[in-house]
Structure formats: structure tokens, C-alpha cells
Structure 1
Amino acid sequence: MLMSDAATLAVVWKTDAFFKLFGLCLLAGILVAGLLFPLAGGLGVASNKASETVDSMSAELANVPPPLLTTITDSAGNPIATLYDQYRIPTATSEINDAMKWALISVEDRRFLDHHGVDWAGTLRAALSNSTGADTQGASTLTQQYVKNYLINVIYRNDEAGQRKAQEQSLARKLKEARIAIQLETKMSKDQILTSYLNVVEFSRKIYGIGAAARAYFNTTPDKLTVTQAALLAGMVNNPPVYDPWNNPERAMQRRNLVLDRMVDNNKLAPEDGQRLKAEPLGVVPDGPSKPASNCTGAGPENGFFCQYVQDYLLTHGMTKQDLYSGGYTIRTTMDQNANHLAKVSAETQVKKTQKNVANTLSLVRPGKDRHEVVALAANRDYGTDATKGQTTYALPSDVSNVTGAGSSYKIFTTAAAMEQHKVGIYSTIQTPQSYSSRVFLGGKPGCPQVAQATYAYCMSNYGEGNYGSTMSLQQALATSPNTGFVILEEQAGIGAVLDMAYRLGMRNTMMSNAANGGAVDPDGQSLAYKMPQQKYYGPEGPQKSGFGSFTLGVSPTSGLELANVAATIMSGGVWCPPTPLSSITDREGQAVSPIHEDACEQVVPEGLANTLAVGMSKDITEGTAHAAAAAVGWNRPAIGKTGTTDVSGSSAFVAAVPQLAGAAMIFRPDFPIGGLIDGGVGNVNAVQGTGDGNMFGGKTPARTWFGAMVPILGNQPALPLPPSDPAYEH
């Protein structure tokens, strides 16, 4: 009985062994056939399709480069920020020491130098195990792992379904991976494969490649890694989250020591050295890993606003965020870091960075007939994510952030529109009564003359009493800013011409924004928001479809950068250019590229008009609303300027320029734009609690901010004259 049972067991064992051997041989045949030969009939068709897929994947491996970080620099080429999805520093073979190479080979693929892409014994064993439903097994070579990691980390990095497919435990995936590996081994040397693997593999926490890992984990470079450092990193590639040395130091230590043991087994490390090194600590940087910020917060509190504008500019001019964050570009900007620093110092001198609900910004643009380069974008508030420290990531100096307006600085547009129509010249006398009720512009409230039932004329008065005569020259009006005179000019020119002039001179995004919140209305730019009837301050409203007269008083959301560019357009003889932050862009190979489309410069008004307007704006600094701020710093340069203040002093602005540099300073309430601002002197500005009036004016904090930056920025540069006026626009 026992003998019979034993014999039965022997037969069963032999039968099972036979079928296992048969299965192994069958799988080996299929694998070899799939790898090397197209089969006849149906299997041949399947093999050919598989071959096409493999060839396609091989092409992707060759043509889809790994993501690299993009570097943003200032105008001198000094890096200020990096943008990336994967932190990766490309590293050449010669820049990786032997300790790293042998640590990886010893633990992941001991026969790496001997096989031709596939470890046959290991792969067949894994294939048989997986096909019979047993536990899945790996046995992938470094070449196969390179294929898988490239698919996961590069080709399918934004495709979860593709990543799952690249990791599935199936015979089909193993066959495909093996075929690609064999192809690679015919095209790449072992050194190239090993280096490519080390440049692609993840080391946890969005750290990819040995160059980034050496820096992030040990503040070193791959050529200077010690044996223990190399062993730790080599051990991590098997399962980066599990062996993370900060989250799981014990597991990381065990894995590192296993790698050291494997190096001893592989005769790449003496046994006594291996034992000694296992006693060393992990040695990673404390509180790590050490890596740069992946976005504009890395530019710091001072340069972050400029970095943000660079990103916004690129993304709105044709570049995708994926390309920007993975293309490995070097973007040299137009930012003068010294000017940006001085602008920041001036803005913060006037308003503390921690002052709640007060933003003080300064934007500077260099005039020119072929380019308008943005030189500085600064704010009193720091760029960053810690609101308790007054930080913000809103693009305060460049975006349409000031939703309450720039006040009388908008009178520039009314003036230019009326001059273009020759309804008035810069030395012409205009009417400036103390109060005025417009029956062309409606929208007034009870207390204004009634035009029809529940319809009132638009009425306004000049600030203060007895400060203005009933008439004055247009040049004097630009310096002293009577409201009534410019509403009358707005009637004469027509609201459409004034709105169009604002757009032409530079308020492009501003005029395409929603009057309620500054958000984009028409992102495709096919029609202008200010021509749409629902726009409160811009569109044709009321029974006469004439628009709102308050536009010339600057009640609309405003971009400080675009206001600065208006001054640059005037100082450029009427040539508008996009306010560009870009000096040059090079790709990962160091070749100059133009990945975006920038609008061409335009002659938006006649040069004579622009030059005469500049002369007309030259008195604000010498005898107008900005005179006190200019005198306080001993200003003695010819310049143009225009101040502006909104109702209840809720926001104020100063736009000004010299031939070398144009700029606009604005102060406003970014978080809760209700109520006024109180100017208590340098560094002492507060927001009114509630909805009360303030005492802020464009000639106070904004003008002091502009002059405070421009004096040291210009330094010893010559005081250049303004262009001469054109008689055609003088009277």
C-alpha cells in the first residue's frame, strides 16, 4: 500500500515536472520566436503587428527626450528660477564615478556586461511563473528596466493608463520589453545604456536621474559620490518611496547594506571594506531632499513677480505649460536685477510689506521703436506663499490687479483722442468749470440733473474749491487735472475714440478685461470687451449708447505694467510694442529658438502727436500734482508724468517717463477693494476700515515710489531732452 502510494506520487511528480519542462520549452520557443522571427500564418500576423509596435516604441525612446528643468535668468544671464515637473540634471558617462556604476550593476543586474539585453534564464523563469499563475517575478535586466522607466517617466509621464500598461505583469509586456531591449543593445554601448538609465530613473520626490539625486541627497555631484552614497542611491531605484531615507531610514539602511553585500559578492568591494562601510550613517542632507523650487517661488520674494510675468507671457503667446516645465530651455529675460531691487526697495519703503490689504507696485519698461523691454516688476509685498508674512503669488505689478482703477492718468487717452481729431492742441484753451453735468454721458444719481424718468445726467466736479480757473491750456490741465475739462473733451472726441486710443497706446489686456473683477472676457481676442454692451465702464450704455463718461477719470480695472507701457509708447514716438520680458531663448542643446509668437510693433499714433503729447505732459513734475514728490528728491531731468486718484482715494497711480525709461506706480487694495487709503507719510500707509474716504493721491505714495526708484536707477546717466512738439498738434 505504501509502495503503491509512493509509486503514484512518483508518477504524479514526474508528470508535473514533465509539463513544467514542456511549458518552459514552449515558452522559450514563443519568446525566441517573438523576439527574433515572424511566425507563419496567424502567428506571423501577430508577430508582425508586435514588431510594428516595438519599432514604434523604439522610435519613441529615440525621439521623445526626457523632461529637463527650464532655467530663467536675468538680463545678465544670472539664474533666478527653475521651472520643472521632474527635477533632472543631465549627466554624462564621464561624470558618473565607478562606485555608482558598480553599485547599480551589483544589485540590479550582475550579468549586465555579459548579456545582450535579456537575461534568458531569468526571463524564462519569470515568464513561466507568471503564465502558470504563480507569484510574479521580475528578472529584468538594466536594459529592460531602462525601457520600462523611459516609458513610465518620459513617454507616459502624464498618462496614468500608459504607465499602468508599461508596468503590467504579463507575458506580452515582457516580450515587448525584451525585444526593445535587444534592439537597444545593437544601437547603444553598455556605457550608454547604463548612463541613460541613470539619467531617467526616479529617486523619489520628483527627483529623477543621478545628477539631481546626488545634489538633492548629498549636495554633491555623481563623480564625487562615496561608496555608501552610491549604494544608497542604487538601492532606491527598486522602490523609491519604500526606501526614502527621510521617511523610512531603517529600510533605507537595510537596503543600502544589501547593496554593499552585493558589491562584495560581485568582487567590486573588499569584504572588510563592506563590513566597515555598513556601520556608517546614511549621511543624507538634513530635512531634505535639497532641491530648488519647481516654480516662480524659487525666484524669491524680490524677483518672483518678474518670473511670474515671464511664465504668463510665454503661456499666453503660444507655449504650453508642459513644454515650459519640461523643455529644458534657458530663458534670458530683460530684467535688470539691480533696477528690480531698487524698485522693490522703493515700493517697500513707502508701504510696509506686511500692511494688510495694501499693494504698492512699480513697473518699469524701456522705450524703443523696435522693442519695449520690461526692466522691473516690483511690489511692497513679497512674492511667495506665506500670507502671514504678507506674501502673495498674484501678479500684482503686471496683471489687471487694480480693480478700482488708476484715476486721472486715464486723461492721457482722452487728450490723445481729441488731439488726433484736431479738436484741440496741447496749447489750446479748454473749458474747466468747477462743476459740470454731461447730457451726453448719462448714469448720474439723484442730485444730478434729470434727463428722463429715473435717468440722470452724469455730473461731476473738480477736486477742492477755487483751485482751478474756468479755463486753462490743455498742458496746464494735464498738470493740474481738472475733471470737468476732460469729460468735456471726452464728449467732443467721442467715447469710442477714447476707448480705442486707450487700447492702441497700450492698455490691451486691460481693455479686454471684465470691469467687475479684471478677469479675461475674450481670451481669443476676436472682439474687444470694451465694445461689448455689458461692460459697465467701457461699452455703449444708456439711451444714447454713448458709454460712461467716468472712463476718462480712470475707474476701470488696470494693469500697472500696461500703464507703464503707455508711457513707453509715448516716449517711442507713438510706436507701441508688446511689453516683452524676453531677451533670448535657447533649447536643451543650447540652440537659439523662438517657441512663441510676439506681436509686431505698431505705429499707433503719428510721431508728431506722441511727441507733442509728451511735451504736454511735461509740466506735472515741474509745477503740477507730482511737483512736491519730485522736489523732495531734487529731480532735475526732463520727464513726462500724470497722476491719478479714484473716488474716496481707494487707489492712486503715477505714470511717468524719461527717454531712457518709463514706468507706472500704483497703490490699491488687492484683497478687499472697498474704502479709501490713508497716506501718513513715508512707510505709513493704511487702509480705511470700512467704506470711508482716504487722503491718498497719485502725487503722494505712487509718485514718491516712482522717484525713489528712478533716481538711483538712472544714476549718472545723462539727462536727455524730450522730443520737440509738432506744430500740427499744438493748437
Structure 2
Amino acid sequence: MGSRDVEDFDHGDQRHEPDAGRGLLLLRGAVATALAGLLMAALLAPVAIGAGTVLVRAASGVGATTIGVLDRAPDAATVVTDATGAPMALLYRRFRLPVGPAGIADTMKAAIVAIEDRRFYAHDGVDPQGLVRALVSNAVHSTPLEGQGASTITMQYVKNQRLYTLADTEEERRAATADTVSRKLTEVRLAHRIEDRLDKDTILARYLDLVYFGRGAYGVEAAARTWFGTSASDLTVPQAALLAGIVRAPATYDPIENPGAALARRDQVLTAMTEVGSLTPAQAAAARAAPLGVAPDPALPAEGCLGAREGTGFFCREVVDRLTAAGLDLATGGYTVRTTLDPRVAAEARAAARDAIDPDGEVAEAVAVVAPRPDRRPILALVANRPYGDDAAAGETMLPITTAPLRGAGSIYKIFTAAAALERELVAPDSELEVPQRYTSTAFDDAGDDYTVENLGAFDDDLTLTEALARSPNTTFLALLDRLGSVDPVVDVARRLGLRTTLSAPGPDGRSLAERVRAAEQASFTLGPDPTSPLDLANVAATITAGGTWCPPTLVARVTDRAGRDVTPPAPPCERAVAPEIADQLRTALSQDHVDGTAADAADEAGWQRPMIGKTGTTQRSASAAFLGATDRYAAAVMAFALDDSEPVCVDPVRTCSDGDLTGGSVPADTWFDLMTPLHRGSDTVTPPDPYGDED
């Protein structure tokens, strides 16, 4: 019998007599056991000396310098929500959503302990019996160090933490998973230290929040969502058993690719749970009778703003750009970003824009809406008729058309000339101003030539400032600019009221728009030919409505890290843009456009009856047009333009053409009233969501 035992043992190229082979085997086993015992003694008792001490020091050097770094949290997905707290986008490098001990069902905790480390709550991070057995087997048979109880859950946590969180290079990743005694001893040392610092429930939750469950799902919450469309806190017994079984080999036990193996592994977990007393035999039998129950096509949720909730892509992009510029790593930081996006406002704005202009056509329409609060300026919507995306053939665009200065706003800029004149007491809202059909500037030129403008259409010989802003004759405002004597005060008040992104945008020569206009004394500035941000325009209307107080338009109400700490980047403070009496005069002067001005037809068609301010604008050849307006509740700007800025735009239907007839009082004004009419219907009884959580 002894001879047969020895002959069945593979000696490789060596040839030994049975007795000699048996003696060698016993000797190797004894040496391995002794070595393992020495190493264990050195690990478990710091007073170890001699060769054991040297070996342990060599093997655990990495661990000794890494223990502090183990406090670093693993990468996690950032969740971006709207003002109500409803998710609108996920940003991640790996799909992981740590939930901590309270977010993991007891079924999941029991399943993973039963199959991976049933003495988890009894040992101090290391199972000496299992580790010695693995070391002996590795020395004698060259078997892998994993299995046989060699790795406790705490040690597995160390390995996965080193692999997924601490390793920055391929060499470090290989070292974290190498099947070597050195790596195993490093895990032993770190496991002991972790057990001294963390309680068992925390270690178990950290492990479950960290490990890989296949199909790109890292951590149990991501796994629960990916495989079952549920949360980690709601996992049933058979679901938890399946996930616990997947951990050992996610590809091997993939329930879609290898359902038989996955089922057998799940049942193995259920048996282990029965053996340790987590389940009764009857409960285990009921769980075995359940189908695998996984999603037919498990897939990760869409990542980034391209996968954002429908209609929120432009808003999402701006959020990501601003927070990234503030230094937040959204793809790994595990933040919760509560934005100011009002889902009702955004839905109405998007519907109005898409109803006005075919999203598959060549013309874009952008809408920006802010709340004209005097203490802060939340952005409620940034939408367009076109979907946000990278498939141009499908009508998508990734251009920041709601926020960037891409096209001109036309005569809306007359507001700034009026504001500068009001500040210098040159005019009042009821001042009579001349309206010649043609006017040549007496103070400005055009590259050395006379600067002359004409009116489009017929006007009375004289109009009040209020009437002039409503009907928008060009000559009146160039004459008013002549009275100011310089474009500087107009640029200055434009910046103060809110045209900040627009005026700071660099041109081909590197200078900002404000610098170029000032240097050239560009009189045409009052007619708005320069690229303008729709969001800036909405904020101008908000500043006037809020009594002359400018506030930075804000997309983010609060950012919290994974521990719930507030890490919201600070926003610039609000500023007094113009005196309250100037703001009052501007509100009066802008109060008639919808009554008998260029937006009157659009207001009549919408049945609009509420007080408001408004101003239309159209650039030359109808390449773009805009409408700015505000009530006491909402301030919004709408801009329509051809994606190819060399093409004029025609209406009815909206399209590019050779001889455009688009005006600010047509499509943009129609869209504004189509948006605002439902928002103000019953507005006294509708309480908008408060993303800041500080309103009564």
C-alpha cells in the first residue's frame, strides 16, 4: 500500500525507490511545516528572531509602508441629481456605488461569510490553520496559495484594496495578485492591523463594496443593480447566494454565459449557509427552487453626460465642466451632486424648443432659464431642440449651445445702451427720442469711414425710450450712444448686468470681446452682432428683475462626498450691478415689448396677460435671433440660429435659406411664451423644488 502511494505521487524527472521517495516526501513536508510555523510565529509574535524575522521583514516591507494608504477610499461613481434629488447622470471609471454596512442586506453578509470565511467573526484577520495548510501545500505541491482557507475576508479586502485602489502601475497590479508567499505575508500583516482599527461589520462592508462581481460591476450595490435591477439592501437569499458565489471567479460563474456553473455555485453557497446556521434546511431548499432570476441582458448604466437622462445632457455637461475646473475628480470621487435643474421647467423648455424647430433640421434653438432671486441665481434649465450627443447624422450636437457665445443676439444689446444712458441721467423711460430713418454717427467711425445705420420698417418721428426698446429702431440707439461719447460705459454696464462669459470670451488675437470692443470704440456693439451666451442673456433679465443685483448663475446647489461631507466649491458672491432705481427704470422701459412691440404677436397668440420685461434681437441676414424675457418667477433667453453660421434662417417652416426672415419676435419669442405660459398656469399654487434645502 505504501509503495502504491509513493508511485502515485509525481516526482517529476527524479527517480527514487519507494522508501527513499517516501522519506523525501516526509522530509519536505516537515521542512515546509517548520518554515510555515516559523513564518507564522514571526507574523503573529513580533519577538520572532533569526531567519524568520528576516523573511517577514523582506516580505512585509510593502505592507509596512502601505498601511496608512489603506485609508484611501476606492474609486466610486458620482451621482448627479436634479433639484428634487432624482438621478440624472452617473459618472464613473468603474461602476461602484459604496453603501456601507447599513446599505447591505443581512442575506448578503451571511452568504459571503458562509462561503468565503465562515470563521470571520472569530479570528483576528488571519486564520492560522488555513494559512499554514496553504503554505505547506504550496511548498510541497506548488499549489496556489488561494483557497484552503488561506485568505480570510480581511485578507481579501487587503488584496482587492491594493489592486483596485492603491496600484497605479501594471507592475503594482501584478504584485497585488501575485501567487507568492511574499504577497500573502504582506496581506497577513495588513490584515492584523486593519482588524485592530476597524470592527468586523465595517471590514465586511468595505470588502463587499470593493470586490468585482462581473459584467463591469464593482461592489455589491452595483452588482445588485446590474444582475437583478435591485439594491444591495433588498437582496433575497437566492440573489445573495448567487452574488456571493460569483466573487470567487466572475467569468466562470457568469449566470448568462455559464448558467449551469452559476447555479451549482449558488447551491454550494446555500449549503454552506445551512452548515453555519444562517439558513434552515427548509429555507435553503426554497432558495434552491428559485430560478437564477438575473436580468436577461445585464449591462452597466450609461456613463457620463452622453448617457444622462433625456433632455439633461447640456446641463450635465456644464456641471461636469465647472466641477472639473474646480478640481473634483467626478469619475472616481463618489460624490453626490445635487443640481439646480428643475425637471418641470426643463421639460417645458425642451418641449417648447422642439415644437418650434425640428430637431433633425439645420437650425438649432437653445433655451436657458434661471430664477431671478436676489440672493442666488439657480439655473433651472439648459435645453435645446436638438438632443445632446455625438451622432450628427441623428441631429445630435455636443456644442455648448446653451452657454457658450456662439451667435449674435442682435438688438437685445440696446438694453445696455439704454442702461448706460439711464445711469448718466441722459434719459428716462418716458423721454422723447428722435427716430430718423437714417443716422450717421458723430462720435464713432467704421475703420475710418462714416458709421451709418438705417431702420428696417417705418417708425414715428419720435418715441419714448420705452417705446424705442419695444419697437427697436436702430438709429435712435446709435444717436444715444453718440450722446454717451464712448462705448466704454455700455460695455461696463453690460458686464455688470450679466454679460460676463460673453465679454470675457477670447478672440483670434487672444483679446477678450470687451477688450476688442473698447479698443476699437466699436459702435456696432449696441446692435449686438457679437457672439453671445444664451445663459448670459437669461441672467441679464434676472439681474434687472431682481432689483439690480447680479448673482453668478449656479448649476450646483450642493456637492457631498461619500462620507456626507459638504464639499461644494464656493461661488462668487452676488453684487450690486446697478442701483435699485436704475433697475426700476429698466423694468419700466422693457415692459412694453409684448404689448405693442416686436413680441406683441407672439404674446397675443399665447394669450399672455402677465406683467413682464422683454426684448427681441435679430442679427444681419437673419443668421440668428433671440428673445430675452422675465417675470417675477422666471428669467429666460431663447436663441435660434443655423448650425452653419453662414446660412440665413427662414421661418414657416424653420430652415436655412438664401434670404432669411427669422426675427427675435418670431420663433424665439414664440418659444419663450410657449414655455412660460404653462409654467405660470397655477403658479401661485405650485412650489418649485428647493435644491438648497434652506427654504421654509
For this structure pair, what is the TM-score category when the shorter chain's length is used for normalisation?
0.7 to 0.9
Contact 1:301 / 1:384 at 8 angstroms: preserved in 2?
no
Letter in 2 for 1:678: C
Q: Indicate the residue corresponding to 2:613 in structure 1.
A: 640
Structure-to-structure mapping, 1:459-470, within 5 angstroms: 459-464=452-457, 467-468=458-459
Contact 1:513 / 1:557 at 8 angstroms: preserved in 2?
no
**In 2: Cα distance, 1:144 partner to 1:627 partner:** 73
In structure 1, which of residues 296, 307, 310 is the aligned counterpart of residue 319 of structure 2?
Answer: 310
Q: Secondary structure at the match of 2:310?
A: helix
Q: Indicate the residue corresponding to 1:686 in structure 2.
A: 655
Scaled by the length of structure 2, the TM-score of the pair is 0.83
Query: What do residues 394-429 of structure 1 show as CA deviations (whole Å, max 9, x unaligned)?
Result: 4433x21x5221111122222223333444444445
Structure-to-structure mapping, 1:491-530, within 5 angstroms: 491=482, 492-515=484-507, 529-530=512-513
Q: In the superposition, relative to structure 1, how do residues 459 and 255 fare at CA in structure 2: closer, same or farther (>3 Å)?
A: farther
Q: Secondary structure at the match of 1:635?
A: coil
Q: Indicate the residue corresponding to 1:575 in structure 2.
A: 549
Establish whether residue 178 from structure 1 lines up as the match of residue 163 from structure 2: no
Q: What is the CA distance between 1:575 and its match in structure 2?
A: 1.1
Deviation larger for 270-279 or 630-639: 270-279
Establish whether residue 659 from structure 1 lines up as the match of residue 632 from structure 2: yes
Q: Secondary structure at the match of 1:300?
A: coil
Q: In the superposition, relative to structure 1, how do residues 134 and 674 fare at CA in structure 2: closer, same or farther (>3 Å)?
A: farther
Structure-to-structure mapping, 1:98-247, within 5 angstroms: 98=107, 100-124=108-132, 126-127=134-135, 134=142, 136-138=144-146, 139-156=150-167, 162-222=172-232, 225-247=235-257
Q: Secondary structure at the match of 2:366?
A: strand
Contact 2:69 / 2:166 at 8 angstroms: preserved in 1?
yes
Q: In the superposition, relative to structure 1, how do residues 437 and 42 fare at CA in structure 2: closer, same or farther (>3 Å)?
A: farther
**In 1: Cα distance, 2:334 partner to 2:283 partner:** 43
Q: Secondary structure at the match of 2:635?
A: strand
**In 2: Cα distance, 1:115 partner to 1:65 partner:** 25
**In 2: Cα distance, 1:287 partner to 1:595 partner:** 37
Q: What is the CA distance between 1:461 and its match in structure 2?
A: 2.8
Q: Secondary structure at the match of 1:301?
A: coil
Q: Secondary structure at the match of 1:321?
A: coil
Q: Secondary structure at the match of 2:242?
A: helix
Paired positions, count = 666
Q: Secondary structure at the match of 1:668?
A: strand
In structure 2, which of residues 645, 653, 657 is the aligned counterpart of residue 673 of structure 1?
Answer: 645
Query: What do residues 87-132 of structure 1 show as CA deviations (whole Å, max 9, x unaligned)?
Result: 325153695244x445434443355455432233543455567789
Q: Indicate the residue corresponding to 2:333 in structure 1.
A: 326
Letter in 2 for 1:306: F
Q: Secondary structure at the match of 1:302?
A: coil
Q: What is the CA distance between 1:483 and its match in structure 2?
A: 2.5
Q: In the superposition, relative to structure 1, how do residues 7 and 91 fare at CA in structure 2: closer, same or farther (>3 Å)?
A: closer
Q: In the superposition, relative to structure 1, how do residues 539 and 242 fare at CA in structure 2: closer, same or farther (>3 Å)?
A: farther
Letter in 1 for 2:454: S
**In 1: Cα distance, 2:597 partner to 2:50 partner:** 93
Letter in 1 for 2:35: L
Q: In the superposition, relative to structure 1, how do residues 235 and 458 fare at CA in structure 2: closer, same or farther (>3 Å)?
A: farther
5+ residue gaps, structure 1: 445-450, 523-527, 533-537, 719-731
Deviation larger for 208-217 or 126-135: 126-135
Deviation larger for 579-588 or 45-54: 45-54
Q: What is the CA distance between 1:185 and its match in structure 2?
A: 3.2
Contact 1:219 / 1:285 at 8 angstroms: preserved in 2?
yes
Q: What is the CA distance between 1:551 and its match in structure 2?
A: 2.5
Q: What is the CA distance between 1:600 and its match in structure 2?
A: 0.3
Letter in 1 for 2:474: N
Q: Indicate the residue corresponding to 1:420 in structure 2.
A: 423
Q: Secondary structure at the match of 1:664?
A: strand
Q: In the superposition, relative to structure 1, how do residues 222 and 471 fare at CA in structure 2: closer, same or farther (>3 Å)?
A: closer
Contact 2:437 / 2:454 at 8 angstroms: preserved in 1?
yes
**In 2: Cα distance, 1:487 partner to 1:574 partner:** 25
Q: Indicate the residue corresponding to 1:374 in structure 2.
A: 379
Contact 2:441 / 2:451 at 8 angstroms: preserved in 1?
yes
Structure-to-structure mapping, 1:48-59, within 5 angstroms: 54=63, 57-59=66-68
Establish whether residue 300 from structure 1 lines up as the match of residue 266 from structure 2: no
Establish whether residue 557 from structure 1 lines up as the match of residue 564 from structure 2: no
5+ residue gaps, structure 2: 1-13, 685-696
In structure 1, which of residues 374, 396, 399 is the aligned counterpart of residue 401 of structure 2?
Answer: 396
Contact 1:131 / 1:171 at 8 angstroms: preserved in 2?
no
Q: Secondary structure at the match of 2:655?
A: strand
Contact 1:67 / 1:328 at 8 angstroms: preserved in 2?
no
Query: What do residues 571-620 of structure 1 show as CA deviations (whole Å, max 9, x unaligned)?
Result: 122211011234444554555x2520100001122222222122222222
Query: What do residues 306-325 of structure 1 show as CA deviations (whole Å, max 9, x unaligned)?
Result: 34443344334x25133x75
**In 2: Cα distance, 1:705 partner to 1:94 partner:** 45
In structure 2, which of residues 355, 370, 386 is the aligned counterpart of residue 365 of structure 1?
Answer: 370
**In 2: Cα distance, 1:201 partner to 1:685 partner:** 54
Q: In the superposition, relative to structure 1, how do residues 412 and 178 fare at CA in structure 2: closer, same or farther (>3 Å)?
A: same
Q: What is the CA distance between 1:632 and its match in structure 2?
A: 1.8
Q: Secondary structure at the match of 1:655?
A: strand
Q: In the superposition, relative to structure 1, how do residues 634 and 226 fare at CA in structure 2: closer, same or farther (>3 Å)?
A: closer
Q: Secondary structure at the match of 1:345?
A: helix
In structure 2, which of residues 19, 27, 31 is the aligned counterpart of residue 22 of structure 1?
Answer: 31
Percent identity between the aligned chains?
38
Q: What is the CA distance between 1:463 and its match in structure 2?
A: 2.2
Contact 2:101 / 2:202 at 8 angstroms: preserved in 1?
no
Q: Indicate the residue corresponding to 1:447 in structure 2.
A: none
Q: Secondary structure at the match of 2:367?
A: strand
Deviation larger for 235-244 or 699-708: 235-244
Letter in 2 for 1:495: V
In structure 1, which of residues 688, 709, 717 is the aligned counterpart of residue 675 of structure 2?
Answer: 709
**In 2: Cα distance, 1:45 partner to 1:507 partner:** 69
Query: What do residues 551-571 of structure 1 show as CA deviations (whole Å, max 9, x unaligned)?
Result: 222222222111100011111
Superposition RMSD in Å:
3.8
Q: Indicate the residue corresponding to 2:358 in structure 1.
A: 352
Q: Indicate the residue corresponding to 2:689 in structure 1.
A: none
Q: Indicate the residue corresponding to 2:46 in structure 1.
A: 37
Q: In the superposition, relative to structure 1, how do residues 227 and 376 fare at CA in structure 2: closer, same or farther (>3 Å)?
A: closer
**In 1: Cα distance, 2:526 partner to 2:440 partner:** 15
